[in-house]
Amino acid sequence: MKKIYLVLLTLSLLFLAACSGTQKLESDNFETKTFDLEEFNSISVAEGIEVVLHKSFEHRADASSNFIDYLNIQVGDDGVLTIDFDLPYNTVLNKNKTRLEVWGSDVSKFKASSSAQIKVDGNFDASEQFIYASSSGSVEYDANCDKINIEVSSSGEYKGSVKAKEANLNATSSGLIKIKGRTKTANIMASSSGDIDGKSFTADIVNAEISSSGDVKIGVEKDLNASVSSSGDLHYKPKGSIQMNIEKSSGGKVKEISGIF
């Protein structure tokens, strides 16, 4: 009886191991396809897909992919255009090369995750806009709006120029914001090796909270209010005489940059 039990247990473990193996799909067959879309106000891209988003009165997507049969493109009831893959369980794509040209008229939220890339061609009109990049996803966008919110995490990256009355910037877990332009008020958070590279970005008022090896570079014209702790670094370039309110602790560093960054 004990032998039978051991045999059954061994067979069960072998079966589970076989089921747990990940299947890789491969394809050299590139295809193109056009998708007609409903109107959308947000875009979310994942799984290594590259998207170029154009401002237009039409709503459509032209896709080129070696896995086009698995491509999932849909607009939800919440107005979010989702672009990813619909794959069988325990399946991954090998050497995925998927690129889309997308056209939309009124987009205010841009989200890239899991190594996806979004490049925005043109400026959208929403007064408040949101950018999210995580898990090595990236967004490139030159924005002109009243208020912009940019969040990057887990090696996500934003790159672009911003002209806004208010900019809220948050970089965590090795996320990178590489920004240029100008704002009246910049509210900044950088932690867990998050990096905000604003060497070419200037704010009248900067409110910054930097911790856990976060790093910030920025230009300031009037007021600088900052809390820097736990090996965080703040590098600021004053544009004339500025008012400062700085709190430092646990190895936090603040340094004025003179001349050119």
CATH value at residue 76: 2.160.20.120
Q: Which range, 8-22, 88-102, 165-179, has the best average confidence (pLDDT)? A: 165-179
| pLDDT digits 0-9 by tens, 70-107 | 999 999 999 999 999 998 888 788 778 999 999 999 99
Collapsed DSSP state (helix, strand, coil) of residue 11 = helix
Q: Which of 95, 115, 135 is the last residue of a domain?
A: 115
Confidence at residue 10, expressed as pLDDT on a 0 to 100 scale = 46
Confidence at residue 6, expressed as pLDDT on a 0 to 100 scale = 46
Same domain, 176 and 207: yes
Same domain, 139 and 110: no
Q: Which of 83, 115, 147 is the last residue of a domain?
A: 115
- 8 A C-beta contact, residue 32 and residue 6: no
Same domain, 91 and 160: no
Task: Name the pTM for this structure.
Answer: 0.90
Give a yes or no: residue 10 inside a domain: no
- Which whole number is the average pLDDT over 196-212? 98
Query: Is 50 exceeded by the pLDDT of residue 30?
Result: yes
- Give the percent of the chain with pLDDT over 90: 81
67/90 Cα distance (integer angstroms): 16
- Give the percent of the chain with pLDDT over 70: 91
Angle at Cα 223 formed by Cα 160 and Cα 153, nearest 5°? 35
* Among 142, 141, 107, residue whose Cα is nearest residue 125: 107
